């Protein structure tokens, strides 16, 4: 049964109003980390009991931090968006521009895997007063745009590339059938996409 929007808001406000002890914060962070992995693996079949077990805490601890499944989903999704966006700058600082772009797109596959696992609960959140989508809208596309434009400027990918086209190509990964080899196939597609982006590139002098 879907959780009522008012219930989500009320339980979320109550849970977030209290400052956490160090050990409690550590448990919360661990739960979010494990939840991202379990949702990516199990999708809609992911159980909160399994998340708690793999995080090394009791189910009561999970519910104290995340009173509803949708609350946990929202925190996990925000974390995934933050990590993916932050990775753009981190990769650009460590790698040539085309390598940074390729590695970011590989991480995008992992982000999509988690998002697919959250799909049902994300649809519930879409119908609530959650600011989740207004807060995150455009951030992923902006991170990709910065990487694409840097690679175009360096001449490590072809000059006629538009970031929105690259994002559209990556978006096809989300709609691919959810088979056991989906992630491996998606990474091969990223490699093929990068081969196409590099073809005909003229490096800047």
pLDDT value of residue 18: 61
Residue 163 lies in a domain: yes
Q: What are phi and psi of 85, to 5 degrees?
A: -70, -40
pLDDT value of residue 19: 66
CATH number for 137? 1.10.357.10
Residue 134 lies in a domain: yes
**The whole model's pTM is what?**
0.81
Residue-range definition of the domain harbouring residue 141: 5-198
Alpha carbon distance 140, 155 (integer Å): 23
Q: How many domains does the chain have?
A: 1
pLDDT value of residue 7: 45
pLDDT value of residue 191: 95
Alpha carbon distance 74, 80 (integer Å): 10
Nearest-5° Cα angle at 35, 173 to 135: 65
pLDDT value of residue 11: 46
pLDDT, tens only, 119-160: 888 888 888 767 888 888 789 999 999 999 999 999 999 999
Residue 205 lies in a domain: no
pLDDT, tens only, 60-86: 999 999 999 989 999 999 999 999 999
Handedness of CA 160, 163, 168, 171 (dihedral sign): positive
Residue 203 lies in a domain: no
Residue 132 lies in a domain: yes
Residue 15 lies in a domain: yes
Alpha carbon distance 157, 55 (integer Å): 42
Residue 204 lies in a domain: no
Alpha carbon distance 183, 119 (integer Å): 17
Residue 197 has pLDDT above 80, yes or no: yes
Region 158-171 average pLDDT:
91
pLDDT, tens only, 3-61: 444 444 444 444 455 666 788 899 999 999 999 999 988 887 789 999 999 999 999 99
pLDDT value of residue 4: 44
């Amino acid at each position: 049964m879907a959780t009522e929007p008012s219930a989500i808001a009320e339980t979320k406000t109550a849970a977030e109003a209290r400052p956490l002890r160090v050990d409690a914060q550590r448990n919360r962070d661990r739960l979010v980390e494990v939840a991202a992995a379990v949702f990516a693996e199990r999708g809609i079949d992911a159980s909160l009991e399994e998340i708690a077990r793999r995080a090394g805490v009791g189910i009561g601890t999970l519910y104290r931090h995340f009173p509803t499944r949708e609350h946990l989903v929202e925190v996990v999704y925000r974390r995934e968006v933050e990590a993916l966006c932050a990775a753009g700058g981190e990769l650009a600082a460590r790698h040539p521009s085309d390598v940074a772009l390729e590695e970011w797109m590989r991480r995008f596959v992992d982000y999509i895997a988690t998002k697919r696992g959250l799909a049902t609960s994300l649809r519930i959140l879409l119908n609530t007063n959650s600011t989740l989508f207004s807060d995150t809208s455009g951030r992923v596309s902006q991170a990709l745009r910065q990487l694409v434009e840097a690679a175009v400027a360096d001449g490590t990918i072809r000059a006629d590339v538009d970031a929105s086209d690259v994002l559209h190509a990556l978006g096809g990964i989300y709609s691919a059938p959810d088979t056991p080899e989906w992630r491996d196939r998606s990474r091969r597609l990223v490699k093929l996409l990068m081969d196409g982006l590099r073809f005909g590139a003229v490096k800047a002098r």
